[in-house]
Structure 1
């Protein structure tokens, strides 16, 4: 009886939350960070972190390119000058001190240059600043839970098309209508969630990331952030979005059979719109029983 009551209570809370979603922040703004056909490049960066990462990647590609061309040139020289026809009597020496010194020192210098540019980017990611907003993110099989810690409310975020929302991982007319009702396009199936994380533009957002069951990973490529959600640990990431719109991500750590069906959506809005959304969200989600309250009620029966 207790299990049945708890299940019914959790189900009721979920559908109440689903209904609340439709009343809160339906204007998604410009859809950014979604994959597109034949796309092979990075998503357009929306944070300083993402710009730094993409610049570093480009710089490393130039370093790699120069090394590859140098090695190809050496191979070509060896093939032309030291083949059996051009050099029938090969030399018999075993050491060449200048060459040995060179192939030791040059790679060290290359690594020092790479480190000089990459370590500041890494430190910028890992040195968490004082946040204007703190959100706790919990990865679950297979959805995300977001708690706006300072504001006292939270919600679950499911992919539109999961059995928990509507459909069964299939793009049916019902799922397409749900996507449209939530402010998405039908083509954003597998990317869209029933509830978005909403943050203001130009503010530092700090997220504490953890997992409730297995390891997940929270990422938004356009923000340049990715953090594993490990059960029993809370790791932090931060970002400061520079433009408004809705950005997409995915769980990036294999977490079970429905790993492919737990997307992430973050909506960046103006400060005025955020204040409006925050007031509505507090009212909507404050009316819902939390999981802890439901467990207490079930245990009391």
Structure 2
């Protein structure tokens, strides 16, 4: 989850998010180098170091400032396309969960189980216990097995919503009448927090998402318990 005064991204909890963080750092370094170079050129021109007519009218310089940006864009585009492919690839998921957005809560169906479904409402501030986070905790968590590919089918019942968990690198719009899908793999056990990321009405900021990754044996115990209570 995010922390007070945090400037960077949340810690990665999936391989895709790790790739996104590496790409972000790569692109940010390119932007920093370009900005530094352009600033130097501006300062040099202001101080009349680069106002020679042979420099300003040079055809070679025009070729360089046309070709170089194209090369830079290619160097940024190639890893970007690779990550987009990884994010869209859904290869033999071990578990499929259907997430349905409502005004203003989420409901979940574990489609591999016959009766495993529940609604997840935000825990009101007055009902929080020590250790829980305001506006982020839900009464039911989405429990998944760690290191297992999970597919999430996302839709909405009323208006546009968005199922987003930053530390997993997941953000998928929930559109009424349409079934979108995304996938992720939790690389370690833990609790990941997210929120609806599409302005969906008055209580948009009060429909959080909590994903808890646990070892497989604990997931089997949890699913058995939920089925007994259903």
TM-score w.r.t. length of structure 1? 0.72
- Hey, what's the Cα distance between the residues in 2 that align with 1:101 and 1:138? 53
- Unpaired runs of at least 5, structure 1: 1-33, 162-170, 286-301
- Hey, what's the Cα distance between the residues in 2 that align with 1:94 and 1:81? 12
Length, aligned pairs only: 229
Relative contact order (C-alpha < 8 Å, sep 6+): which is higher? 1
> Whose Rg is larger?
1
Residues 208-247 of structure 1 mapped to structure 2, 5 A cutoff: 208-247=153-192
- Hey, what's the Cα distance between the residues in 1 that align with 2:75 and 2:56? 31
1:36 aligns with 2:9: no
1:283 aligns with 2:228: yes
1:74 aligns with 2:37: no
Verify the 8 A CA contact 1:137 1:144 in the aligned structure 2: yes
- Hey, what's the Cα distance between the residues in 2 that align with 1:66 and 1:253? 34
Q: CA deviation at 1:96?
A: 3.5
Listed one character per residue, the Cα deviations across residues 174-199 of structure 1 (whole Å, up to 9, x for unaligned) are x2xxx32xxx625x010000000000
- Hey, what's the Cα distance between the residues in 1 that align with 2:186 and 2:108? 18
Q: Which of 122, 140, 149 in structure 2 is aligned with 1:204?
A: 149
The structure that is strand-richer by fraction is 2
Q: Which of 56, 60, 63 in structure 2 is aligned with 1:101?
A: 63
RMSD value, Cα: 1.9
- Hey, what's the Cα distance between the residues in 2 that align with 1:44 and 1:102? 39
CA 1:229/1:239 → structure 2, altered by over 3 Å: closer, same or farther? Answer: same
Q: Which of 135, 139, 143 in structure 1 is aligned with 2:105?
A: 143
TM-score w.r.t. length of structure 2? 0.94
- Hey, what's the Cα distance between the residues in 1 that align with 2:135 and 2:212? 17
Q: Which of 131, 137, 141 in structure 2 is aligned with 1:185?
A: 131
Please state whether the residue corresponding to 1:160 is helix, strand or coil: coil
- State the partner residue of 1:6: none
Please state whether the residue corresponding to 1:81 is helix, strand or coil: coil
- Unpaired runs of at least 5, structure 2: none
